């Protein structure tokens, strides 16, 4: 049996339960968008994703214990590589579509996809997002956290804390048989109530067997729109929240780093979650 056949064999030995297939059929009849059966993970796949996700959480715990003022973002990359390899795992970002480093480090007005560099020192007052994705046994876990360097302004602290709240509000909306749009609707409502804006160009995603799978998880969306959340789906929620306007620009030199167009600060938190029959389970944080 080759790797491809093995992948498909799960679908015979671990079929989707009948009561879930029936409920999916009802949703489809109502005109809702239902996921392809390949997006509904089976127990053995969930175990693999859980394992990769656990290592990925360990990566961020390791960064949390060692990050400090005066380090460079390259030092963060070194920590991530060392920890990941010590756990016989792979840093998914490395060489992903040409990305040159092993983790994303996005400081202050950088929204995401910041590239670690020896010349980028972390100063007192900076806020930084560290976004790690780990491959273990060919399964993926993806998460990111914010870190506040020393004493940061109240404005920045509040942005970091309220962005975490946005993720938590998104998690609460990520209930089985809700839709993906319910997540973004809850997030954007809260973010706007705090005077923040929500980045639209990038979002969460299905994850687990691949780095980025369907569905796209918009963080600014309308309730009751988009794909139905079916138990067994694994997705990320990763709101990017700006202190100023929502518009972003891409770095014209490296082709990766996303900045706020108005240079305002931006924050992001990301979890990988499993949709279950009763709610969701956080796999990586
Ligand atoms: N980890 C990011 C995400 O949350 C993706 C980074 S892609 C990279 O989806 F190439 F920049 F690493
Ligand atoms: Co990520
Ligand atoms: Co992600």
In a domain, 6, yes or no: no
> Is ligand 1 within 6 A of the CB of residue 131?
yes
In a domain, 19, yes or no: no
> Is ligand 1 within 6 A of the CB of residue 101?
no
- Which has the closest alpha carbon to 91: 76, 107, 109? 76
- Which has the closest alpha carbon to 60: 164, 134, 139, 150? 134
Q: Given the CA of residue 207, which atom of ligand 1 is nearest to it?
A: 9
User: How confident is the prediction along the chain (285 residues), in pLDDT tens digits per residue?
Assistant: 666 666 567 777 999 999 999 999 999 999 999 999 999 999 999 999 999 999 999 999 999 999 999 999 999 999 999 999 999 999 999 999 999 999 999 999 999 999 999 999 999 999 999 999 999 999 999 999 999 999 999 999 999 999 999 999 999 999 999 999 999 999 999 999 999 999 999 999 999 999 999 999 999 999 999 999 999 999 999 999 999 999 999 999 999 999 999 999 999 999 999 999 999 999 999
In our burial notation (b when 16+ CB lie closer than 10 A, e otherwise), range 105-131 reads bbbbbbbbbbbbeeebbbeeebbbbbb
In a domain, 150, yes or no: yes
> Is ligand 1 within 6 A of the CB of residue 105?
no
Q: Given the CA of residue 133, which atom of ligand 1 is nearest to it?
A: 1
In a domain, 114, yes or no: yes
Pocket test for ligand 1, best of 101, 105, 110, 112 (most atoms within 8 A of CB): 112
In our burial notation (b when 16+ CB lie closer than 10 A, e otherwise), range 268-281 reads bbbbbbbbeeeebe
In a domain, 25, yes or no: no
Instruction: Give the CATH number, domain containing residue 183.
Output: 3.90.230.10
**For position 39, what pLDDT does the model report?**
98
Cα 101 to the center of its chain, rounded Å? 18
In a domain, 191, yes or no: yes
**For position 253, what pLDDT does the model report?**
98
Q: Are strands 266-268 and 90-91 parallel, antiparallel or unpaired?
A: unpaired
In a domain, 92, yes or no: yes
> Is ligand 1 within 6 A of the CB of residue 133?
yes
Number of domains in the chain: 1
Element (H, E) at 213: strand 213-217
**For position 252, what pLDDT does the model report?**
98
CA of 140 to the centre of ligand 3 (A): 10
In a domain, 79, yes or no: yes
What's the domain range around 149?
37-284
CA of 155 to the centre of ligand 1 (A): 27
Q: Given the CA of residue 131, which atom of ligand 1 is nearest to it?
A: 1
> Is ligand 1 within 6 A of the CB of residue 110?
no
**For position 5, what pLDDT does the model report?**
65
């Amino acid at each position: 049996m080759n790797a491809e056949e093995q992948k498909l064999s799960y679908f015979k030995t671990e079929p989707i339960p009948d009561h879930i297939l029936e409920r999916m059929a009802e949703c489809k009849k109502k005109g809702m968008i239902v996921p392809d059966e390949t997006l509904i993970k089976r127990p053995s796949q969930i175990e693999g994703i859980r394992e990769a996700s656990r290592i990925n959480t360990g990566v961020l715990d390791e960064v949390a214990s060692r990050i400090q003022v005066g380090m460079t973002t390259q030092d963060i990359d070194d920590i991530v590589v060392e920890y990941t390899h010590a756990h016989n795992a792979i840093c998914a970002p490395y060489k992903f579509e040409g990305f040159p480093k092993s983790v994303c480090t996005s400081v202050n007005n950088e929204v995401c996809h910041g590239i670690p560099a020896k010349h980028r020192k972390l100063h007192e007052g900076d806020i930084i997002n560290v976004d790690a994705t780990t491959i273990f046994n060919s399964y993926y876990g993806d998460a990111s956290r914010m870190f506040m360097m020393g004493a940061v302004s109240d404005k920045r602290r509040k942005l970091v804390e309220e962005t975490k709240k946005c993720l938590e509000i998104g998690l609460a909306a990520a209930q089985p048989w809700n839709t993906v749009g319910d997540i973004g609707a809850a997030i954007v409502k809260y973010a706007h109530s705090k005077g923040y804006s929500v980045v639209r160009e990038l979002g969460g995603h299905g994850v687990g067997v691949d780095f980025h799978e369907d569905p796209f998880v918009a963080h600014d969306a309308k309730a009751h729109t988009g794909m139905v959340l079916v138990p067994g789906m694994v997705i990320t929620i990763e709101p990017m929240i700006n202190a100023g306007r929502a518009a972003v620009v891409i770095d014209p030199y490296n082709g990766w780093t996303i900045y706020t167009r108005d240079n305002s600060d931006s924050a992001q938190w990301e979890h990988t979650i499993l949709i279950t029959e009763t709610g969701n389970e956080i796999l990586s944080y």
